[in-house]
Structure 1
């Protein structure tokens, strides 16, 4: 075999590469970015129905002034994906005293059509159905849906004469669980207003950091109690020690980032040779009928700086987003 022939495929590739570069068979788009120009922003017509449009990714307002640490600002490490989002059931029950409801893992505009379908399929005798309020009045009682504490959640209730109906809630839980796979695929445009735009935020009042929750204190306590039971379960790092629905408080054991990041030299010259956790009391305070404040109060003898308080509150707040 002629030795020159075995290099023929390589020669053909080189030739093709030359054609691609000179003849334009393969267009390299890498250099297109160098010539890119910014275009004017798109503007929707003024005649549009404004209530049908919302921000896809709203940017929250900054509450309080920025305060860097005394040793200079250091950018925080990014939170891992899914932080604060514990794997959970599509439908879960919540209770505070005699009040009970369901938390459904879908937005109100997706839940609303199913709530109407439930009322009609069970023959409850629908009297009125108001999508703007998320309320279905039946001869058997009232079904309602509203925005949950966490983004993308809904709260569903079944009441009769102002009291929760357990049998109705059980039936609703089974109904929504059976439809969990398709819950997010059907949304009602009329019910989009049920999803509240205001979310919880970290605020600073004086020298104290706290979490401002735009919900009443009972709903906030029930959701936070559930999330802490699921997440604060790591021994010597973060543990839920006690919860009290009477005074809306929690006692947690927590090791701060400051403590976890102590280097060996700091430990040697410290009275504490071990990295230690400390007890913190999380308190909910009623701001008004539909707003709650969450505070973190140090009940141990160890130091608890403003940065430590903010770091703990950010973690707890992430459980509710």
Structure 2
């Protein structure tokens, strides 16, 4: 028997498995029409919040999305655990263009309070304090706090003469790691203000691009970190190269059109679709704004919808 014929029973079984009561595929869209809501579960006030959480949390879709009329499709939410985002109470180091800073999974108000305690405990002389700007200048360093690129995080810098102070950053990192290990996540995870800008997907010259309301160096550092963590799935999405000077990333990505191939085509071809090689280019568009573009880096054309879907995923990593 030829190898092709050996596959026919499997193909037939998969095709028949889709049959259901209303047609070829089971449409469960009406199963919830008669569903009734029940009263929410009430827990005692004396409960320990650290012991409870959502059993099946639903991630929120990040960024802003543009309708395409009748062809509009709701973008998927960011996968739980996707990327290398800092969780509530976590701390991570970022580096770009000779600068270093900490990204902390806590609201700026929480970080500011800890920063004041840090300065007081070390007996440093405060030269300037501006809580509204998140600026605390001592006789040894300039400490600053501001909202981070992602939801519920802050950026903390320690500099002197415009240069990052490594010993100061290490001391602050240890402090926040110790706090994160003892504090509950709910006491640290505070949403960013609703009026803070988010990544915006727009069209320019007939092509989709991602407008980012952050400085290009901050964006590069975060995007590099996120792509290294999220684009690490062989034959689906992989970060191949990154050029900090040119601010470009070379990735292999299984596009939406490739993923949307029918099951019959996939089985009868005895193989899956190949990822497409794509170059992501980051450009400054202002002092506190940048633009990310996606273009084909091989002999295949990158369709308009595939470009849009890829940029949506990146927006989810940065939003």
Closer, same or farther in 2 for the Cα pair 1:133/1:74, shift >3 Å?
closer
1:144 paired residue number: 144
Larger Rg: 1
Question: Do the aligned residues in 2 keep the contact of 1:147 with 1:194 (CA within 8 Å)?
Answer: no
Closer, same or farther in 2 for the Cα pair 1:110/1:196, shift >3 Å?
farther
**Alignment of structure 1 residues 1-321 onto 2, 5 Å:** 66-68=67-69, 73=71, 75-76=73-74, 78-79=76-77, 82=80, 84=82, 86=84, 88=86, 90-180=90-180, 181-182=182-183, 197-263=196-262, 274-321=272-319
Task: Give the match's secondary structure for 2:71.
Answer: coil
Task: Give the match's secondary structure for 1:152.
Answer: coil
* Alignment size in residue pairs: 260
Question: Do the aligned residues in 2 keep the contact of 1:133 with 1:194 (CA within 8 Å)?
Answer: no
Question: Do the aligned residues in 2 keep the contact of 1:91 with 1:102 (CA within 8 Å)?
Answer: yes
Q: Distance in 2 between matches of 1:287 and 1:74?
A: 28
Unpaired runs of at least 5, structure 2: 1-35, 38-60
Q: Structure 2 length normalisation: TM-score?
A: 0.72
2:23 paired residue number: none
Question: What's the offset of the Cα at 1:87?
Answer: 6.4
Question: Do the aligned residues in 1 keep the contact of 2:86 with 2:153 (CA within 8 Å)?
Answer: no
Closer, same or farther in 2 for the Cα pair 1:194/1:100, shift >3 Å?
farther
Unpaired runs of at least 5, structure 1: 1-29, 32-58
Task: Give the match's secondary structure for 1:120.
Answer: helix
Question: Do the aligned residues in 1 keep the contact of 2:83 with 2:227 (CA within 8 Å)?
Answer: no
Closer, same or farther in 2 for the Cα pair 1:77/1:226, shift >3 Å?
closer
Q: Structure 1 length normalisation: TM-score?
A: 0.72
Closer, same or farther in 2 for the Cα pair 1:62/1:154, shift >3 Å?
closer
1:20 paired residue number: none
Q: Distance in 1 between matches of 2:101 and 2:248?
A: 21
Closer, same or farther in 2 for the Cα pair 1:258/1:193, shift >3 Å?
closer
Question: Do the aligned residues in 1 keep the contact of 2:200 with 2:211 (CA within 8 Å)?
Answer: yes
Considering only aligned residues, what root-mean-square deviation do their CA atoms show, in Å? 3.4
Closer, same or farther in 2 for the Cα pair 1:220/1:77, shift >3 Å?
closer
Question: Do the aligned residues in 1 keep the contact of 2:86 with 2:103 (CA within 8 Å)?
Answer: no
Question: Do the aligned residues in 1 keep the contact of 2:62 with 2:78 (CA within 8 Å)?
Answer: no
Task: Give the match's secondary structure for 1:179.
Answer: helix
Question: Do the aligned residues in 2 keep the contact of 1:228 with 1:240 (CA within 8 Å)?
Answer: yes
Q: Distance in 2 between matches of 1:228 and 1:212?
A: 17
Task: Give the match's secondary structure for 1:117.
Answer: helix
Question: What's the offset of the Cα at 1:206?
Answer: 3.4
> Which segment is superposed worse, 239-248 or 257-266?
257-266
